[in-house]
Amino acid sequence: QQQVKQSPQSLIVQKGGISIINCAYENTAFDYFPWYQQFPGKGPALLIAIRPDVSEKKEGRFTISFNKSAKQFSLHIMDSQPGDSATYFCAASISGNTPLVFGKGTRLSVIA
């Protein structure tokens, strides 16, 4: 019940295309859903986060869509660029300063 399932494991997208990564969770107590971006040899960096009181959040080219009833959330990267090539992790946690539960990650490659 603590798991966060992430798909796909890897993704190849043409430059300018839309990258979509999906996550699903079971624990309805989760109320904070961040996405982290990780480049090789670096720590995860917060990209964007959402709480279940909204269904969508957009920051620049990055959008989170949240479906509370389906217990799913997804990351959309519009106009994908080669510099977006990284591993993306979804995560979830319960209110307060509690541990993040991470998905297994998606390795995104944006090719020109």
Residues in touch with another protein (CB under 8 A):
32, 34, 36, 41-46, 49, 89, 91, 93, 95-105
Measure CA of the first residue to CA of the last residue in the chain; give whole Å.
40
Asked if 22 contacts 72 with a C-beta cutoff of 8 angstroms, the reply is: yes
In the complex, minimum distance from the CB of residue 97 to another protein, in angstroms, rounded to a whole number: 4
Please give the Cα distance from 43 to 53 (Å, whole number): 29
Query: For another protein, which is the closer residue by CB, 80 or 102?
Result: 102
φ/ψ of 14, rounded to 5, equals -75, 145
Least distance to another protein, CB of residue 60, Å:
17
Which residue, 34 or 80, has its beta carbon nearer to another protein? 34
